[in-house]
Amino acid sequence: MVYLSDCGGIPSYRGLMSLHHPPATPGSAQAAGSASSPVVVDERFNGPPRSANGGYVCGVLAARLGPGPVAVRLFRPLPLGVPLSLDGGRLLDGDTVLAQAAPSTDTRPDLPPAVSLPVADSATTHFAGHFQHPFPTCFGCGTERADGLRLSPGRIPGTACVAAPWRPEPVLALEGTVPTPIVWTALDCPGGWAIGGGTVAVLGTMLGQTFRPVVAGEQLVVTAAPAGASGRKHHAVSAVWTASGELVAWSHQTWIEVE
Predicted pLDDT at 197: 66
Predicted pLDDT at 66: 75
Calculate the alpha carbon distances from 141 to 29, 115, 136, 220 in Å: 31, 20, 7, 16
Q: Which residues contact 14 (CB under 8 A, 6 or more apart)?
A: 235
Predicted pLDDT at 19: 35
Predicted pLDDT at 174: 94
Phi, psi of 79 (to 5 degrees): -75, 155
Neighbours of 21 (CB within 10 A): 14
Helix, strand or coil, per DSSP, at residue 28:
coil
Predicted pLDDT at 117: 97
Contact yes or no for 92/218 (Cβ under 8 A): no
The CA distance from 87 to 191, in Å, is 28
Q: Which residues contact 15 (CB under 8 A, 6 or more apart)?
A: 104, 106, 107, 207, 252
Q: Model pTM?
A: 0.86
Domains parsed from the chain with CATH numbers: 15-103 (3.10.129), 117-257 (3.10.129.10)
Contact yes or no for 202/256 (Cβ under 8 A): yes
Handedness of CA 167, 41, 53, 207 (dihedral sign): positive
**What type of residue is 13?**
Y
The CA distance from 157 to 142, in Å, is 22
Print pLDDT tens along the chain (259 aa): 222 234 544 443 333 333 333 333 323 333 334 445 689 999 999 999 999 999 999 999 999 997 889 999 999 999 999 999 999 899 999 999 999 999 999 989 999 999 999 999 999 999 999 999 999 999 999 999 999 999 999 999 999 999 999 999 999 999 999 999 999 999 999 999 999 767 788 999 999 999 999 999 999 999 999 999 999 999 999 999 999 999 999 999 999 998 7
Predicted pLDDT at 103: 96
Handedness of CA 197, 69, 75, 172 (dihedral sign): negative
